[in-house]
Amino acid sequence: MTLYSRLQKRNNSSKVLNNRDFLKRLSHTKFDLNEEILDEKGYVFLVEVSGDSMINIGINSGDKVLVNSNYPISNESIVVGALNGKPFVKRIIFKDDKTILRSENEDYEDIRVTDLDEFSIWGVVRNLIRDC
């Protein structure tokens, strides 16, 4: 079932006549994005990016990334997390027994995560929102 049809069901409407009518109904409809996107566990959230470490893949300072905490993390995923208390947005690389955080800007070196680091991944970046 699509988000569109779920909103119709919640509004007890069998038919939306036009975009203006749909947008008017949508603006009065409250829904939980977590409920619409996720299964039973996990959540989605927005993180505002600060810095230029990911500019080569189009993630700029001031952009907001949509993060899914329930999405499977795979090699080369773009992830949001924290390393030694500092939040980050990086590409994660699993190579041999190593975990590497890679920026998408040649001005930054790779960061190798060690057993001495306090390291957590909050979720995988699934989309980008940029103000016009």
Identify whether 77 is a catalytic site residue.
Answer: no
55: which DSSP letter? Answer: G
Write out the two tokens for 98: 């190593």
Catalytic-role residue among 14, 15, 27, 53: 53
CB 99 within 8 A of CB 92: yes
Catalytic-role residue among 77, 90, 98, 103: 90
Write out the two tokens for 78: 């773009």
Identify whether 41 is a catalytic site residue.
Answer: no
| Beta-carbon contacts of residue 104 (< 8 Å; ≥ 6 apart) | 53, 54, 55, 56, 57, 59, 91
What is the set of active-site residues? 53, 90
